Amino acid sequence: MRKHAGQAKKLFKRREVLASGLPALAEIVRGSLVTRYRRCGKPTCHCAKGRGHGPAHYLVVTLKPGKTEQILLSQEMLPVAQQFLHNYKRWWAAVEKVSAVNRRLLRLRVAALREWRPTPCE
Ligand SMILES: [Zn+2]
């Protein structure tokens, strides 16, 4: 029981560390950045042979299978979108790690209760 309490204490501390220091939840966005260069179609334009016009940066989000939303980002909004995407990844990583800690805590609690509780035959 004592061993479980020590492990649980460490896990609570780890969970606390993982859950703190996250960016603001209000500043997240799911999706990915896509950079495109387009060809205007004029045969004499430089884009006909070289790289197309651009770059144009888009935030692309899959809403459901086969349905995406694309937002053309201005130069000013590009770093904001990058930060929000980064924040989203940090939140997801934290969610997965806290979830793993909580699974261990649940297992510990079950094990501790099993040790403590007298069996029906006793
Ligand atoms: Zn062109």
Q: What is the pLDDT of residues 74-114, one digit of tens each?
A: 999 999 999 999 999 999 999 999 999 999 999 998 887 88
pLDDT tens for each residue of 55-82: 999 999 999 999 999 999 999 999 999 9
Near ion ligand 1, which residues have CB within 5 Å?
Answer: 40, 45, 47
* Å from CA of 55 to ligand 1 middle: 12
CA of 72 to the centre of ligand 1 (A): 19
Q: What is the pTM of this model?
A: 0.80
Q: What local confidence, expressed as pLDDT, does residue 118 receive?
A: 65
* Inter-residue contact 53 to 36 (CB < 8 Å): no
23: left (phi > 0), else alpha (psi -120 to 50), else beta? beta
- How many angstroms separate the alpha carbon of residue 43 from the centre of ligand 1? 8
